Amino acid sequence: MILLEYAVLFIVLAPFIGGLLAGIDRKLTARMQGRVGPPILQPFYDVGKLFQKEQIVVTPSQHFYVLSYLVFIVASGALFFAGGDLLLVIFAFTLAHIFLVLGAYSSYSPYSFIGAERELIQIIAYEPMIILAAVGMYMVTKSFFVWEIMTSSLPLILYLPGVFLGFLMVLTIKLRKSPFDLSTSHHAHQEIVKGVTTEFSGPMLARVEIAHWYENVFLLGFIYLFFAWNPLVGIIAIIVAYLLEILIDNTFSRATWKFTLKSAWIIAGMMGLVNLGVLYYLSGVVPV
């Protein structure tokens, strides 16, 4: 069962929600640092400006990769909100990210090249945990389909607390927050110039930014799945989780790739696998 209307809603609304979210993020970050901060709508101004800038490229093929990145992020997010297969959604997201990485590689620029390598390290750092999260949801609800997980009356969070914590950890990587903003970063942060996005400019950079908004909305949707049995709790959880990410962003310094990889894997292993193992064991004793 694919719920097309939700997919359309996602495609239309997600940029607004994502942009607003980024604006609130920047405002809160500024307040945490004792600054006034930009207007809430600042991300929209930024993207609007980028579209008004001249397009310069290093190689025209960058366009292809960035456009593919945007298209596949939107497609996989739409698939998620349409209630599609969670694993397929995850794989489609990986595909989209590979396009971003390839776009960075294609320019043969030292900075975006290193950014691309680091982005790949980040992908291998977070991907196992996300797959394990999907597997955990399957173990509780017996389905990989998002709409079945959504309509399940079981409080997933009570079955999967470890998986949820592990997911929060990799969420930091996905949201490009400190300490894991190795490959490119937000706001005024700089790392290896701008890493993956160094060679994207003007309208092309705006597309990357919009894709990131779509992606953030998808990630928050993923958090919601853990709390889907009660919409109110779900929305509160999303807000709390996002605030937590902003706090982490402002209190940690950037980590090395080695630390990122190791900590992501260890936490995925400890939190995720142990949680799943317990669940697996219990399912033999107490039927879920």
Partner 1 sequence: MTHLSKSPWILHYDASSCNGCDIEVLACLSPLYDVERFGIINTGNPKHADVLVITGGINEQNRQVVQNLYNQMPDPKVVVAVGICASSGGVFRECYNVVGGIDCIIPVDVYVPGCAARPESIIDGIVRALSILEEKKRMPAHGRATGGGER
Partner 2 sequence: MINNDRNLDFTPFEGEFMITLPFLVLFPAVIAILLLLVSADAWRRLVVKAGALIIGIASLYLLFITPETGPGFFPVEFDSISELMFLAEMVIAAFLVYLGIKYKKYLAIFLVVAQAALLVYYESLAATGTHIVPNLFIDQFSLILALIIGIIGSLICVYALGYMATYQEHHPEVRDRRRTFFFLMFFFLSSMFGLVFSDFLPWVFFFWELTTLCSFLLIGYSGTGEAINNAFLALNMNLLGGIAFVGALLYLAFVSPGGELLNISTLIHSGHMVALVPAVLIAFAGITKAALMPFSAWLVGAMVAPTPVSALLHSSTMVKAGVYIIVRFAPVLTGTMEGLIIGLIGGFTFLLASAIAISQSNAKKVLAYSTIANLGLIVACAGVGTYKLVWAAILLIIFHAIAKSLLFLCVGTVEHRIGSKDIEDMTGLIVRMPHVAVMMFIGIAGMFLAPFGMLISKWAAIEAFIEAQFGLIFVAILAFGGSITVFFWSKWMGKIISVCPVAAKVENRIPQEKWIALSLLTAMTVFICLAFPLISSYLIEPFVLSVYGATTRLSQDNVTIMVMMLFLLMIMPFSLLWFRKEKNIVPPYMAGRPATPDLHFLGSMGVTRQVTLGNYYLEEVFGEKRLFMAGTALCFGLILLVGTLTAGVAL
String of contacts with partner 2 for each residue 12-51, x by CB under 8 A: ----------------------------------------
Residue among 137 and 225 whose Cβ is closer to partner 2: 137
Q: What angle do CA 202, 204, 206 make, to 5 degrees?
A: 75
**What span, in angstroms and rounded, lies between the C-alpha atoms of 163 and 135?**
10
Q: Which long-range contacts (CB under 8 A, 24 or more apart) does 151-159 make?
A: 151/228, 152/228, 152/229, 153/229, 154/229, 154/288, 155/227, 155/229, 155/230, 156/225, 156/226, 156/227, 156/228, 156/229, 157/226, 157/227, 157/237, 159/279, 159/288
String of contacts with partner 2 for each residue 124-163, x by CB under 8 A: x--xx--xx--x--xx----x-------------------
Q: Are 18 and 219 in contact (CB under 8 A)?
A: no
Out of 38, 40, 109, 252, point to the residue binding partner 2 (CB under 8 A).
Answer: 109
- 145 beta partners: 85
**What span, in angstroms and rounded, lies between the C-alpha atoms of 49 and 279?**
50
Q: Which of residues 128-187 bind partner 1 (CB under 8 A)?
A: 187
Q: Are 161 and 275 in contact (CB under 8 A)?
A: yes
Is residue 255 part of the contact set for partner 2 (CB under 8 A)?
Answer: no
| Shortest distance, position 13 Cβ to partner 2, whole Å | 22
* Contacts of residue 145, Cβ cutoff 8 Å, sequence gap at least 6: 1, 83, 84, 85, 86
Of partner 1, partner 2, none, which one sits near residue 87, judging by CB under 5 to 8 A according to partner kind?
A: partner 2
Q: Which of residues 17-46 bind partner 1 (CB under 8 A)?
A: 26, 30, 33-39, 42, 45-46
**What span, in angstroms and rounded, lies between the C-alpha atoms of 66 and 68?**
5
Residue matched to tokens 């993956």: 196
Is residue 190 part of the contact set for partner 1 (CB under 8 A)?
Answer: yes
String of contacts with partner 2 for each residue 168-207, x by CB under 8 A: -------------------------x----xx--------
Out of 123, 140, 175, 217, point to the residue binding partner 2 (CB under 8 A).
Answer: 123
| Shortest distance, position 20 Cβ to partner 1, whole Å | 16
Exposed, middle or buried by CB within 10 Å (0-12, 13-18, 19+), for 177?
buried
Residues near partner 2 (CB under 8 A) are 1-2, 54-61, 63-64, 67-68, 71-72, 75, 79, 84-85, 87-88, 91-92, 94-95, 98, 101-102, 104-113, 116-117, 120-121, 123-124, 127-128, 131-132, 135, 138-139, 144, 193, 198-199, 258, 261, 265, 269, 273, 276-277, 280
Residues near partner 1 (CB under 8 A) are 26, 30, 33-39, 42, 45-46, 48-49, 52-56, 187-188, 190, 193-194, 197-202, 205
